């Protein structure tokens, strides 16, 4: 039986029109170092029209990719909605990718136009000669003449290009499953892999970001978007803000703790989003120079597991609720979010909030063991997390049509590569990446659990644990410690600190003290490099008896 409902399309063109009219008083602001420049959503709507007309004038058609090589700022937000709304595809380039990766993704996506922030022109200039599909570069807030254009490429100044354009553009409502935006994973192995979000997936995801069991910000919030817009679909923040009428505050290039705290003192955001590394820096800066940041009701943290000690420090010392979330580029990215269940308080609530949280109805989740069997959600059985749903990728982008990494998919489910357990009431606890979990004598030891526990020691700033070959047990953990500034600790003392938190057979014998943990371009621990350093004999390892 057919329904009588209208045959609608969830389209970002509709979202743009909505935000510019029904939420027209809301704003996006960019920090300039000592203040903000602000644009209402009404003005954003007009600016999006001008940009769309300008891009159309440059030959950008439906489906064409428009890259951005930008910090988080007003102009980036305009591009984020204008490009998909005109039926083209936004490709936010990760400015921190290694050069060969950056060139790879821009060529693989076949970006036709790239918008580049003025301050990033020197960096982009190194890549431009190697970009084979780019026809136009638009320099935003900078000196376009500073960029030498290779043959066949035209360089434009953003304001000169768009100021004369009409603010009216007939944004098309296209099929909701069409491409709207794309992001590449910054995997540590092999080439980056592309994920193409649709209008539908971004719309549904934005609704979930706004939901109380998602991030839950609303039209009364000012959202500080520290997470780069090129990181994992910007965590859905731009579209969710346009949908709810939340104000957005963009930090531009001011991402160090001190300028972020100056921004907060000035703009008093009520909600913020960033990876743990940023929050660790902010916490340290606050310890050095106290500042009231309790205007920040909630800070959502994802991209890596959050140390419980950091969550408690923010809440207990600074009145900021840290909301732990799990997701990945392949999941748009919002997967699970760690809100405590109704009625649960105190330490029990904290225990729930330390987990990766619960999934929304739009994301189906299951755990699968080494034999491909689904394991029960009993809070104990470990398995690889697999997810399914409308904002989960079903493949990697392949211009040739040849399947890329098909073993990442299992009968319609995405294999996340994360190992964890799910409680009977649906809370996910990840214990490791499937490639990082330490297989010791047939049992699994979570490298992440060891890291979190040892980071609770006051002398430890950071810790990374990898599995290293062991003759007797196949693999045993090696703990790499970065000591806090001015602190000192011996391996034996740190092992004793872990003794009541782990079974005896799980306690590590091997320890090494390092200056810093190697990190990937998005700030995650780069365990591949750490393993290589160990293999090359570059680490000075203490082995306890």
Whole-angstrom Cα distance, residue 175 to residue 457?
53
**Total of chain residues touching a second copy, rule CB under 8 A:** 79
Q: 3-state SS string over 482-500?
A: EECCCCCCCHHHHHHHHCC
133 binds a second copy (CB under 8 A): no
Q: Which stretch binds a second copy (CB under 8 A): 9-17, 158-166, 285-293, 438-446?
A: 9-17
| Cα–Cα nearest to 139, from 130, 129, 128, 131 | 128
389 binds a second copy (CB under 8 A): yes
Among 339, 353, 433, 476, binds a second copy (CB under 8 A): 339
Strand partners, 26: none
- Contact indicator for 5, 232 with CB cutoff of 8 Å: no
Residue of 47, 75, 267, 330 marked catalytic? 330
10 binds a second copy (CB under 8 A): yes
| Cα–Cα nearest to 130, from 107, 154, 146 | 107
What residues contact residue 251 under an 8 Å CB cut-off, 6+ apart?
Answer: 31, 71, 72, 224, 225, 226, 259, 260, 263
- The question of whether 444 is a catalytic residue gets the answer yes
Residue of 17, 119, 130, 444 marked catalytic? 444
Whole-angstrom Cα distance, residue 449 to residue 355?
12
- Contact indicator for 179, 197 with CB cutoff of 8 Å: yes
22 binds a second copy (CB under 8 A): yes
Residues 341-380, mask of contacts with a second copy (x by CB under 8 A): xxx--------------xxxxx-xx-----------x---
Whole-angstrom Cα distance, residue 46 to residue 165?
10
Q: Smaller CB distance to a second copy: residue 2 or 189?
A: 2
Among 53, 74, 208, 446, binds a second copy (CB under 8 A): 208
15 binds a second copy (CB under 8 A): yes
- Contact indicator for 456, 442 with CB cutoff of 8 Å: no
What residues contact residue 498 under an 8 Å CB cut-off, 6+ apart?
Answer: 450, 453, 454, 507, 508
Q: Smaller CB distance to a second copy: residue 44 or 478?
A: 44
- Contact indicator for 9, 174 with CB cutoff of 8 Å: yes
Question: What DSSP assignment string belongs to 186-249?
Answer: --SSSS--EEEEEHHHHHHHHHHHHSTTTT---TT-EEEE-S-TTSGGGGGHHHHHHHHT-EEE
Residue of 348, 403, 439, 493 marked catalytic? 439
Among 112, 156, 200, 433, binds a second copy (CB under 8 A): 200
- Contact indicator for 510, 476 with CB cutoff of 8 Å: yes
510 binds a second copy (CB under 8 A): no
503 binds a second copy (CB under 8 A): no
Among 210, 386, 440, 452, binds a second copy (CB under 8 A): 210
- Contact indicator for 68, 51 with CB cutoff of 8 Å: no
112 binds a second copy (CB under 8 A): no
Query: Which tokens in the block code for residue 315?
Result: 């809440």
- Closest contact distance (angstroms) between CB of 105 and a second copy is 15
Give residues 426-455 in contact with a second copy (rule: CB under 8 A). Answer: 426
Among 144, 180, 466, 489, binds a second copy (CB under 8 A): 180
3 binds a second copy (CB under 8 A): yes
Reduced to 3 states (helix: H, G, I; strand: E, B; else coil), residue 278 is helix
CA 285 to chain centre: 23
Q: Which stretch binds a second copy (CB under 8 A): 159-167, 216-224, 319-327, 494-502?
A: 216-224
187 binds a second copy (CB under 8 A): no
Q: Smaller CB distance to a second copy: residue 155 or 180?
A: 180
538 binds a second copy (CB under 8 A): no
7 binds a second copy (CB under 8 A): yes
Q: Smaller CB distance to a second copy: residue 7 or 145?
A: 7
Q: Smaller CB distance to a second copy: residue 129 or 376?
A: 376
Residues 144-173, mask of contacts with a second copy (x by CB under 8 A): ------------------------------
- The question of whether 408 is a catalytic residue gets the answer no
Omega before residue 113 within 30° of 0, cis: no
Whole-angstrom Cα distance, residue 233 to residue 202?
9
- Closest contact distance (angstroms) between CB of 23 and a second copy is 7
337 binds a second copy (CB under 8 A): no
Among 30, 72, 94, 244, binds a second copy (CB under 8 A): 244
Q: Smaller CB distance to a second copy: residue 168 or 490?
A: 168
Whole-angstrom Cα distance, residue 309 to residue 484?
14
What residues contact residue 35 under an 8 Å CB cut-off, 6+ apart?
Answer: 266
| Cα–Cα nearest to 117, from 95, 101, 139 | 139
Q: Which stretch binds a second copy (CB under 8 A): 163-171, 241-249, 272-280, 431-439?
A: 241-249
Q: Smaller CB distance to a second copy: residue 119 or 381?
A: 381
- The question of whether 133 is a catalytic residue gets the answer no
Query: Which tokens in the block code for residue 108?
Result: 């693989």
- The question of whether 160 is a catalytic residue gets the answer no
- Closest contact distance (angstroms) between CB of 414 and a second copy is 8
Pairing mode of beta strands 136-140, 154-157 = parallel
Residue of 185, 329, 393, 512 marked catalytic? 185
| Cα–Cα nearest to 453, from 392, 487, 415, 497 | 497
Pairing mode of beta strands 321-327, 298-301 = parallel
61 binds a second copy (CB under 8 A): no
393 binds a second copy (CB under 8 A): yes
Q: Which stretch binds a second copy (CB under 8 A): 20-28, 228-236, 308-316, 431-439?
A: 20-28
- Closest contact distance (angstroms) between CB of 422 and a second copy is 9
- Residues with a known catalytic role: 185, 330, 439, 444
């Amino acid at each position: 039986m057919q329904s009588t409902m209208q045959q609608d399309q969830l389209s970002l063109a509709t979202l743009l029109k909505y935000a510019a009219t029904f939420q027209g008083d809301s704003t996006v602001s960019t920090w300039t170092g000592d203040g903000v420049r602000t644009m209402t959503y009404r003005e954003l709507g007009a600016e999006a029209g001008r940009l769309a007309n300008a891009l159309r004038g440059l030959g950008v058609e439906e489906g064409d990719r428009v890259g951005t090589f930008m910090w988080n700022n007003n102009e980036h937000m305009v591009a984020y909605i204008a490009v998909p709304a005109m039926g083209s595809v936004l490709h936010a380039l990760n400015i921190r990718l290694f050069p060969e990766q950056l060139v790879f993704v821009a060529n693989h996506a076949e970006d036709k136009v790239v918008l580049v922030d003025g301050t990033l022109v020197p960096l982009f200039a190194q890549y431009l000669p190697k970009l084979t599909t780019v026809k136009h570069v638009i320099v935003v807030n900078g000196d376009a003449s500073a960029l030498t254009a290779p043959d066949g490429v035209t360089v434009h100044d953003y304001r000169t290009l768009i100021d004369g354009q009409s603010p009216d553009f007939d944004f098309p409502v296209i099929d909701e499953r069409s491409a709207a935006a794309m992001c590449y994973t910054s995997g540590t192995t092999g080439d980056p892999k592309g994920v193409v979000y649709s209008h539908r997936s971004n719309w549904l995801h934005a609704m979930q970001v706004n939901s109380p069991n998602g991030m839950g910000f609303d039209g009364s919030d000012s959202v500080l978007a520290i997470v780069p817009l090129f990181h994992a679909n910007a965590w859905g923040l731009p579209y969710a803000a346009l949908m709810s009428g939340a104000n957005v505050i963009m930090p531009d290039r001011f991402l160090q703790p001190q300028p972020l705290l100056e921004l907060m003192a000035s703009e008093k955001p009520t909600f913020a989003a960033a990876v743990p590394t940023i929050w660790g820096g902010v916490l340290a800066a606050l310890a050095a120079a106290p500042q009231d940041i309790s205007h920040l009701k909630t800070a959502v943290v994802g991209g890596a597991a959050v140390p419980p000690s950091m969550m408690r420090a923010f809440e207990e010392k600074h009145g900021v609720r840290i909301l732990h979330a799990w997701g990945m580029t392949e999941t748009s990215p919002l997967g699970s979010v760690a809100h405590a269940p109704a009625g649960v308080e105190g330490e029990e609530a904290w225990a729930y909030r330390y987990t990766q949280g619960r999934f929304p109805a739009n994301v189906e989740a299951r755990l699968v063991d080494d034999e491909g069997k689904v394991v029960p959600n009993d809070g104990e059985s470990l398995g690889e997390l697999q997810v399914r749903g409308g904002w989960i990728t079903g493949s990697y982008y392949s211009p040739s049509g040849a399947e890329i990494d098909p073993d990442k998919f299992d009968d319609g489910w995405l294999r996340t590569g994360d190992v964890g357990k799910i409680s009977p009431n649906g809370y996910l606890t990840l214990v490791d990446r499937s490639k990082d979990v330490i297989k010791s004598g047939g049992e699994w030891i979570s490298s992440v659990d060891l890291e979190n526990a040892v980071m609770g020691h006051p002398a430890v700033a950071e810790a990374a644990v990898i599995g290293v070959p062991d003759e007797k047990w196949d693999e045993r953990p090696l703990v790499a410690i970065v000591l806090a500034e001015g602190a000192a600790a011996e391996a034996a003392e740190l092992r004793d600190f872990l003794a009541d938190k782990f079974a005896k057979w799980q306690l590590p014998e091997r320890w090494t003290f390092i200056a810093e943990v190697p990190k990937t371009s998005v700030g995650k621990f780069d365990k591949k490099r750490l393993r290589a350093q160990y293999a090359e004999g570059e680490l000075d390892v203490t082995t306890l008896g």
